[in-house]
Amino acid sequence: MNMLRKGDTIGIISPSWVADKNDYEKYARGIEKLGLQVKFGKNIYKNTYGYIASEKERADDLNEMLYDENVKMIFFGGGYGSVDILPYIDYKKIKESPKFFLSYSDGTSILNSVYSQTGITTYYGQTPGIYGDIGEYDKEQFVSHFIMGNAINYASNSEWNTITKGRCRGRLVGGYLVNFVLSLGNRFFPYQLDKDYILFIEESEKFQSVQAVGAYLTCIGQSRLMERVTGMLFGHYSDDACPLLFEVLERFGKAYSIPIAYCDDFGHGDNHAIFPIGRDAILDTGNHTLSFL
């Protein structure tokens, strides 16, 4: 895919919740400051079900962006419900005319499925909401991945913690913990057991306790995917250090003999690093580096 250029159009949809018009117009102005144009899905403000638009309405918005040759990126945030539209996505069109997909949180379901179904790299880590008042780090992440195309060595904006030390190589998959675990049994995420994977996982104390994180990690551990997981980078959980979480991560790392590191670079915190799902990478938890290949 070609990098974004000045004047290119970003298509914003809302597969996980009912967008607020005033907020989204503000987000659009932030994106336009990058020299890009914005097109909204026609159904992003609908609440057909009383809390969200119908599956067809939300899928229609995504597919319309696929069919619009002027749209170079499909951008959406989190909430609940993106999994509803997986059967209705035109994966064939994505293969024929690839576009950038960028989201986070509940968008995990769509991003991993689009990659698995098409082989096209998708991108996790940002939501339109951060563009109302975007920070420099988040802006640099967007520019490096989508405008300059020079994101090779992962740029950190926090102190990493080595949980279990080691160096590994694999294909990046992951995202928001709960959505990722639910995807493991989904036919739209047929991971390959002849490939090695590095997981990037994030969860927040706003949504899940440490005990719940441990349970969800156990689900990953008991899945067939774990046979091919070579390492993991865990993102922002809380503003303060959480020794109990580190203990859970350490037990997980030792149980499966994989290197793990923790950082505050991505997730539901202040930093929103971007991860290319489906791209090969090398993670070194001892030296606190991640390189995209």
* Domains delineated in the chain: 9-147 (3.40.50.10740), 161-292 (3.50.30.60)
Rg (the chain; Cα; Å)? 18
| pTM across the whole model | 0.98
Alpha-carbon span 8 to 75, nearest angstrom: 13
DSSP 218-250: HHHHTSGGGGGEEEEEEEE--SS--HHHHHHHH
DSSP 1-43: -PPP-TT-EEEE--SSSPPPHHHHHHHHHHHHTTT-EEEE-TT
User: What's phi and psi for 224, nearest 5 deg?
Assistant: -65, -30
Which residues, including other chains, have CB under 8 Å from residue 120's CB and lie 6 or more apart?
A: 94, 95, 98, 101, 114, 278
Which residues, including other chains, have CB under 8 Å from residue 240's CB and lie 6 or more apart?
A: none
Q: How far is CA 99 from the centre of its chain?
A: 15
Instruction: Say what the pLDDT of residue 130 is.
Output: 98
Instruction: Say what the pLDDT of residue 1 is.
Output: 86
Beta strands 289-292; 280-284: pairing state? antiparallel
Per-residue pLDDT of the chain (293 residues; tens, 9 = 90+): 899 999 999 999 999 999 999 999 999 999 999 999 999 999 999 999 999 999 999 999 999 999 999 999 999 999 999 999 999 999 999 999 999 999 999 999 999 999 999 999 999 999 999 999 999 999 999 999 999 999 999 999 999 999 999 999 999 999 999 999 999 999 999 999 999 999 999 999 999 999 999 999 999 999 999 999 999 999 999 999 899 999 999 999 999 999 999 999 999 999 999 999 999 999 999 999 999 99
What angle in degrees, to the nearest 10, is found between the helix axes of 210-221 and 243-256?
10
Alpha-carbon span 9 to 31, nearest angstrom: 10
Instruction: Say what the pLDDT of residue 27 is.
Output: 98
H/E run at residue 271: none
Q: How many residues does the chain have?
A: 293
Work out whether the CA dihedral 279, 72, 89, 104 comes out positive or negative. Answer: positive
Give the residue ranges of DSSP H helices in 33-90.
Answer: 55-67
Residue 254 carries which side chain, given as an amino acid letter? K
Instruction: Say what the pLDDT of residue 233 is.
Output: 98
